[in-house]
Amino acid sequence: MKVVIVGTGFGGLSAAALLAKNGFDVTVLEKNDHPGGRASVYSEKNFYFDMGPSWYLMPDVFENFYSEFGKKPEDFFELKQLDPSYRVYFGGKNPTDISADLEKNFALFDTFEKDGGLKLQKYLESAKEMYDISIKDLLYRDYKSILDFFSGKLLMQGVKLNILESLDKFVSKHFESDEAKKIVEYSIGFLGGSPQNTPSFYHIMSHIDLTLGVWYPEGGMRKVADSVYKLATSYGANFYFNESVTKIEIEDKKAKRVITDKNTYDADLVIVNADYAHSELELIDPKYNTYSDKYWEGRVLAPSAFVAYVGVDKQFDELAHHTLFLDKDWSKGFDTLFDPKKAAWPENPSYYVNVPSRTDTTAAPQGSDTLFILIPLAPGLKDTSELREEFFNKIIDNLEATIDQDIRSHIVVKKIFALTDFKERYNAYKGTALSLSHTMKQTALFRPAHKSKKVDNLYYSGQYTHPGIGVPMTLISSQIVAKEINEKYG
Ligand SMILES: Cc1cc2nc3c(=O)[nH]c(=O)nc-3n(C[C@H](O)[C@H](O)[C@H](O)COP(=O)(O)OP(=O)(O)OC[C@H]3O[C@@H](n4cnc5c(N)ncnc54)[C@H](O)[C@@H]3O)c2cc1C
């Protein structure tokens, strides 16, 4: 049975590997020149930048994925737990390290507020309970109806925790200090949301970063994408790069052919990993759309981003592997991201700097640092080279002032990737970096479906679908799709 997959993001690579292993004849088509999708690589003058994901979180999910092939992550790359997990600057010059050792973090929270450690312990117990239920009952399954969603333990736990309330309200019931609140809330950025628009259910993120830990695959996230690519090819999947899919031809409610700018591929089944909205609005005949233009217009989009890939000929020890610079009044920043009336390039942005060379000597030439600087931006903002340059200078000014170092004169590599680049490189809807936010109405059963409602043999895998954004989630998304396809056609 011929399966054609559109896109080699983690969603496409993992679907290819799982289906090729199960004997399907798999062809994968990708518009860019290498696998990984948003997890692409940029290199210049021996500086290596993971262009997208840099946090290896939820190691249990990676283990589960590789176990489908009788493998472990360590068969492909060396995994190191980071300590500190990450560093935070709360608007001043004094950094706070979040340790890989929970006991140290409890002691740290005691310095933030009375009984802070105890409060964190209780918060994490609740996050663990919810995470365990999610892994068992929520993340690895597909949803066809509301009854599937609110079943058994999840319902009971949901009622107990009032999972419909916002994360922000939930956190305010647990902590008083600004620092404690920010540490348990910042990670909601991984889900492309704000503490105000994301349900409290997602406090599981604190179990993920604080308890399960922050890991680094030696050689970078690109090694992880490579490993899934190699798995797929080892089972016979065929990959064609530099081929843009221009149409999925549908006859009689069945996808029959996938047409690229170079070739035509016959298909018995099609799986789209490219951005869902791009596929529905640009690749298929509108009469076969599951979702209308209006549907997409009405979604809460996860942010786009401004990313600067900067190579410096000096090492800055003030920066840990992951360092967060959080604005004192970060709520204004969330307004510029999620309130359409206030959408703008932010005045005082919170930002994130990743320095893989802190852990990995292959990431930069000796004595140098690879800096990846990320700031979320509202999708669809005006994007010009002048605006980018002005913004870059603003961030570098702030970074230099915060860590008391001259950075500018050490820059030897500089590349900016933002807004319109996401559209052009990945066909991202309105330039979103991360698809749809995880609001209540865009979670689980309410995310775009894994299977087209109008075309019998058309499936979707990747961050737009359940369980959502992030590399581990896209692996799960493919596991769900592959299971469904195996049951139906295998
Ligand atoms: C800057 C950034 C930082 C991130 N940080 C993290 C992190 O630290 N940890 C984490 O877990 N996650 C992180 N994420 C999220 C994570 O990277 C994504 O959720 C995940 O990689 C998405 O995978 P995907 O397979 O759904 O889509 P994609 O990776 O976007 O793959 C889709 C593929 O389809 C291709 N395509 C599109 N249109 C066509 C077409 N017409 N024809 C052929 N091919 C097409 C695209 O080129 C692309 O290769 C980050 C994302 C970004 C952008």
Spatial contact of 429 and 277, defined as CB atoms under 8 Å apart: yes
Average pLDDT of 310-319? 98
- Could you tell me how far CA 214 lies from the centroid of its own chain? 14
What's the pLDDT band for 107 if we cut at 50, 70, 90?
very high
**pLDDT reported for residue 319:** 98
Ligand 1 within 6 A of 466 CB?
A: no
Q: What's the rounded Cα separation, in Å, for the pair 192 and 412?
A: 31
Pocket test for ligand 1, best of 13, 32, 38 (most atoms within 8 A of CB): 38
Contacts of residue 102, Cβ cutoff 8 Å, sequence gap at least 6: 124, 210, 211
How far does residue 270's CA lie from ligand 1's centre (Å)?
A: 19
Ligand 1 within 6 A of 10 CB?
A: yes
Question: Which H helix or E strand runs over 238?
Answer: strand 238-240
What's the pLDDT band for 154 if we cut at 50, 70, 90?
low
How far does residue 264's CA lie from ligand 1's centre (Å)?
A: 24
- The amino acid occupying position 133 is I
Angle at 377 between CA 371 and CA 381, to 5 degrees: 130
What's the pLDDT band for 153 if we cut at 50, 70, 90?
low
Ligand 1 within 6 A of 32 CB?
A: yes
Give the pLDDT confidence of 329-362 residue by residue, as tens digits.
Answer: 898 899 999 999 999 999 999 999 999 999 999 9
- Nearest atom, ligand 1, residue 7 CA: 34
**pLDDT reported for residue 155:** 66
Query: Which protein residue's CA is at the shortest distance from atom 1 of ligand 1?
Result: 52
What's the pLDDT band for 141 if we cut at 50, 70, 90?
confident
Average pLDDT of 61-80? 98
Give the pLDDT confidence of 10-39 residue by residue, as tens digits.
Answer: 999 999 999 999 999 999 999 999 999 999
Q: What's the rounded Cα separation, in Å, for the pair 327 and 337?
A: 14
- Per-residue DSSP letters for 258-313? EEESS-EEE-SEEEE-S-HHHIIIIIS-GGG-SS-HHHHHTS-BPPEEEEEEEEES
- Nearest atom, ligand 1, residue 477 CA: 26
- Whole-number mean pLDDT of the chain? 95
Average pLDDT of 114-121? 98
Average pLDDT of 123-132? 94
Average pLDDT of 377-394? 97
**pLDDT reported for residue 152:** 61
**pLDDT reported for residue 489:** 94
Q: What's the rounded Cα separation, in Å, for the pair 128 and 271?
A: 33
- Is a pLDDT exceeding 80 seen at residue 433? yes
- Nearest atom, ligand 1, residue 462 CA: 26
Average pLDDT of 224-238? 98
What's the pLDDT band for 150 if we cut at 50, 70, 90?
low
- Could you tell me how far CA 380 lies from the centroid of its own chain? 19
Place of tokens 């088509």: 29
What's the pLDDT band for 137 if we cut at 50, 70, 90?
confident
